[in-house]
């Protein structure tokens, strides 16, 4: 719309703890094997935080994104952390990250929308910048899922990992937009989001005292592979792009079988597909920014490339949008 402020991803950053937990390591804890895990999930390894907290992970990723954007901390007017595994309630993880990075007076809050948390938080930051409530926003997905893992449950302990990813969202059109794209092309496209609360029990992380992640894996698999592709295509439609023209696709890294099934239904042959779940496992709200940041860092998707972000999970909820790579 004329006069509406545009937004773009100015920079990305990610962080993972150094300790690697392999499938063979897990076979020493529960009745499983490397073959069993790979066949059912595609996961080969994941990172586990030993001493680092959710705040530590979030601050490390956010610091990299802020440095890459070349922004002074005082310019950041909004900090949002998407997480479902943080133990701190007040001050929020976002407020603690702001303090560590020297961001003096942002609106700072945590957002819990399960695995769809980052793409939900990205949309809210996009809306805030468009409305003029902030000119630069820091959006982070950070999880320490190892804190909420039931290490005796072989169906779930093989899935989860720890990590964080972050993005700086800034006002203005994307600087890397392809020639001829025009000054009115948004760098963060319109969001498609929603939930099916009637099936919320399919993914659970309940209680304040030693909560443990649990899910109905078959129900989640059926839902993700049969009902979500039309919503992902709708995100492309709202951004004014056909799936065939996508440069990349980053879905929630829940399970490689789910990622492959969803991408296949999108019919996007030119897109580079993120498969970070193989080396990082399911990092919940961190999975999309973590995978996106890695794709950009490796040069798998170039500056100005349109990339579909689409996340889904606990709630059951979903959120997605097309972004222009920084």
* Identified catalytic residue from 14, 255, 282, 325: 282
DSSP state string for 217-263: HHHHHHHHHHHSHHHHHHHHHHHT--GGG-SEEEE--S-HHHHHHHH
Q: Which residues are 204's β-sheet partners?
A: 214
Q: Which residues are 140's β-sheet partners?
A: 81, 166
Which residues in the chain land under pLDDT 70? Answer: 1-4, 175-186
Take residue 183 and report the two structure tokens written for it.
């000054």
Q: pLDDT per residue over 202-225, tens digit each?
A: 999 888 788 999 999 999 999 999
Q: What's the CA angle centered on 95, arms 253 and 98, to 5 degrees?
A: 85
Q: What count of other Cβ atoms lies within 10 Å of the Cβ of residue 40?
A: 16
282 a catalytic residue:
yes
* Alpha-carbon dihedral angle through residues 96, 101, 102, 105, given to the nearest 10 degrees: -50
Query: Of 291, 294, 271, 273, nearest to 281 (Cα)?
Result: 291
Domain 7-171 and domain 192-324 have a common topology: yes
List C-alpha distances in Å: 245 to 189, 249, 272: 15, 11, 11
Q: What's the CA gap between 307 and 325, in Å, rounded?
A: 7
Q: Calculate the average pLDDT of the chain.
A: 94
Q: What's the CA gap between 34 and 26, in Å, rounded?
A: 8
Take residue 72 and report the two structure tokens written for it.
């002074």
pLDDT of residue 5: 75
Domain ranges of the chain: 7-171, 192-324
Q: Under 8 Å CB-to-CB from 182, ≥6 apart: which residues? A: none
Please tell us whether the domain made up of 7-171 is placed in CATH 3.40.47.10.
Answer: yes
- Rg (alpha carbons) of the chain, rounded to whole number: 18
Query: Of 213, 162, 166, 165, nearest to 20 (Cα)?
Result: 162
pLDDT of residue 188: 96
Q: What is the largest CA-CA distance in the chain?
A: 61
Give the fold, CATH level 3, of 192-324: Peroxisomal Thiolase; Chain A, domain 1 (3.40.47)
* Identified catalytic residue from 115, 157, 236, 325: 115
| CA dihedral sign, ordered 164, 304, 194, 252 | negative
* Identified catalytic residue from 84, 157, 252, 325: 252
Q: What count of other Cβ atoms lies within 10 Å of the Cβ of residue 293?
A: 26
Cβ density class 106-123: b for 16+ within 10 Å, e for less: bebebbbbbbbbbbbbbb
pLDDT of residue 175: 67
pLDDT of residue 4: 60
Q: pLDDT per residue over 36-50, tens digit each?
A: 999 999 999 999 999
Q: Note if the bond before 91 is cis, omega within 30 degrees.
A: yes
Q: What's the CA gap between 243 and 298, in Å, rounded?
A: 22
């Amino acid at each position: 719309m004329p006069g509406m402020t545009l937004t773009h991803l100015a920079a990305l950053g990610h962080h993972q703890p150094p300790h690697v937990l392999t499938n063979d390591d897990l076979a020493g804890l529960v009745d499983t094997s490397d073959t069993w895990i790979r066949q059912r999930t595609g996961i080969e390894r994941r990172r586990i935080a030993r001493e680092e907290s959710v705040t530590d992970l979030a601050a490390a990723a956010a610091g990299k994104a802020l440095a890459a954007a070349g922004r002074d901390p005082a310019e950041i007017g909004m900090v949002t952390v998407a997480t479902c595994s943080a133990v701190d309630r007040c001050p929020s993880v976002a407020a603690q990250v702001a303090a560590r990075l020297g961001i003096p007076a942002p609106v700072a809050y945590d957002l819990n929308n399960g695995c769809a948390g980052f793409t939900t938080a990205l949309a809210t930051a996009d809306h805030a910048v468009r409305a003029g409530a902030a000119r630069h926003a820091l959006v982070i997905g950070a999880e320490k899922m190892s804190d909420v893992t039931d290490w005796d449950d072989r169906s779930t302990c093989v899935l989860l990992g720890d990590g964080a990813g972050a993005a700086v969202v800034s006002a203005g059109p994307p600087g890397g937009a392809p020639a001829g794209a025009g000054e009115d092309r948004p760098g963060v496209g319109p969001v498609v989001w929603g939930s099916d609360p009637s099936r919320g029990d399919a993914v659970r992380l309940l209680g304040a005292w030693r909560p443990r992640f649990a899910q109905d894996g078959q129900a989640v698999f059926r839902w993700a592979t049969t009902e979500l592709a039309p919503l992902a295509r709708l995100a492309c439609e709202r951004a004014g792009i056909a799936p065939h023209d996508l440069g990349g696709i980053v879905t929630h890294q829940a399970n490689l079988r789910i990622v492959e099934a969803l991408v296949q239904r999108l019919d996007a042959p030119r897109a580079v597909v993120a498969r970070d779940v193989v080396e990082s496992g399911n990092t919940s709200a961190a999975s999309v920014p973590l995978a996106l940041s890695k794709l950009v860092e490796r040069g798998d998707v170039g500056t100005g490339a349109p990339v579909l972000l689409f996340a889904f999970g606990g709630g059951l909820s979903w959120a997605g949008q097309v972004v222009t790579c920084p």
